[in-house]
Amino acid sequence: MITRRILAASLFLVSASGAALAAATAEEAASITASLQKYLGSEPGVVTVEPKGDDYVVTLSAAPYIAKIKTPGVTVNVDPFVLTVRPKGNGQWDVSSSGPYSFGWDAEGLSKVDARIAEQTWSGVFDEATASFLTSTYAMKNISVNQVMTDPTTKAKTTANSVYESWSGSSTSTPRADGSVDAASTINMTGILSTTNTEMPGGQPLSYTINAGKSDATANAKGLRSKAILELLAWFVAHPSKDLIVQDQQQLKDRILAALPLWESIDSTSDMNAMSVVTGIGNFALPSANVTVSMSGVSKEGRLREAFGVTGFALPPGISPPWTEGLIPSTMKIDFTLDGVDLESPVRLFLTQADFSRDPVIPPGSEAAYMAAFAPTNSMKVTLSGGEFTSPTYSLTYDGAFTVNFMGPPTGTANIRMKGLDDVIAKVQAAAATDPSAQQAMGGLVAFKGFGKADADGSTVWAIDMTQPGKILVNGIDVSAMAGMAPPPAQ
């Protein structure tokens, strides 16, 4: 499905006439063909464009390239992708596609994949000036992906069968004055069922089934340099060999620089509901889960944020010791950010030093310069936000901010707050009389509480301070020796 969207997107990088609606002509069809071949290559049969009334029917076929695969035991099949295109004028095009679609491959003894979409519709408006879809909507129903994979070493055979009742989405792009776009997209999936079975020679089979009632995702990209990125793709299509790349390597460097920073920022969220995993030892419940990812482009202010959250998590009965009932968290939240690094300078340094006619491409011994460019302060910042682990017995939250020093210990502060610690200790202590695993846990809990400080609301707090060289303070108590830290060198 991703391949389909890439092929479809390539269609609209046409530099053909932006004339208003008129009867389709053979001349315009030839112009569209030539434009598409900039991105898909000029192999006969890959791109076919036929005028039909006011429209152009575009067929994109991978068959000519597949025919060049001469590896014994490997077969690949990809349905042609057929689009109906109509010029709107002003360099914009209506685009649509419908019908079933399938693809797959068979690498004998290694991997076999068969993917089918029973129904699909897609329509959009493509803008030549920004090489992006101003609007786009699609819907697919009854999707199946069947896979068989064999490990050549262990001979373990894994069979995976997945179905999606429906998969739909939409996108928009808003052009900006600098030629980039602000893009937004949504994805909605329902009725997800995936069954996996692994058979190991001489061992017990492993099987599990994943059910997901619904999954929704959104993504937003600011300052996406869609046209510059696809012009870079066209450059590689026009330079298919190393000799051609070496010959025009300054052009390549200029194209890469023109595409930076690729985008200003990308933010995505995904929410999954009514999920469960059925295994031979019981059912794992995951009623609600979410994932958030944010990242900068290739800029001097490099940044990555990831956040994960689950609510209602439950283990199968009997999988953990009885005394852990009520202690295993049902709600978990992890949120961290990495920043304080420069992603742009190493790329610019590489483009300055690189000579693709040489091996190695960059001068020997220059590696240290890339680390200095990536981390000018020889460090990286890590921020922990809104962390949480909650069970019916307790609630633990945390946050923190650290500097990871590449030539020394990390520095920073963190705060941990817990409600219900005494209830946890009482529960584990009662089990410790007869359960060795509870006895082990009890020792850690007692030490954990010993460093804590009671707050007015009944919580226990741990204020962690690592701002002094060679020291870790917990509520003002130096625990450096317990943490195995060496004392700082004498001044």
Give the pLDDT confidence of 88-113 residue by residue, as tens digits.
Answer: 999 999 999 999 999 999 999 999 99
Q: Which domain holds residue 110?
A: 86-478
Domain membership of residue 293 (yes or no) is yes
Token pair 């009932």 in the structure block, residue: 325
CA dihedral sign, ordered 109, 1, 55, 10: negative
| Residue 139 half-sphere exposure toward CB, CA atoms < 13 A | 0
473-476, long-range: CB < 8 A, 24+ apart: 475/451
Output DSSP code: residue 235: H
The token pair that represents 133 in the structure block:
């879809």
Domain membership of residue 34 (yes or no) is no
Total domains, the chain: 1
Domain membership of residue 72 (yes or no) is no
Q: What is the pLDDT of residues 269-311, one digit of tens each?
A: 999 999 999 999 999 999 999 999 999 999 999 999 999 999 9
Provide the Cα torsion 8, 10, 11, 17; round to 10°. 150
Domain membership of residue 244 (yes or no) is yes
Across 22-26, 260-264, 278-282, least confident range? 22-26
Domain membership of residue 4 (yes or no) is no
Q: What is the pLDDT of residues 225-251, one digit of tens each?
A: 999 999 999 999 999 999 999 999 999
Domain membership of residue 73 (yes or no) is no
Q: Tell me whether residue 131 is exposed, middle or buried, using C-beta atoms within 10 angstroms of its C-beta: 0 to 12, 13 to 18, 19 or more.
A: buried
Q: Tell me whether residue 434 is exposed, middle or buried, using C-beta atoms within 10 angstroms of its C-beta: 0 to 12, 13 to 18, 19 or more.
A: exposed
The pLDDT of residue 16 is: 42
Output DSSP code: residue 110: T
CA–CA gap between residue 80 and residue 64 (Å, rounded): 11
Instruction: Give the chain's count of helices (H) and strands (E).
Output: 10, 22
Domain membership of residue 487 (yes or no) is no
Domain membership of residue 308 (yes or no) is yes
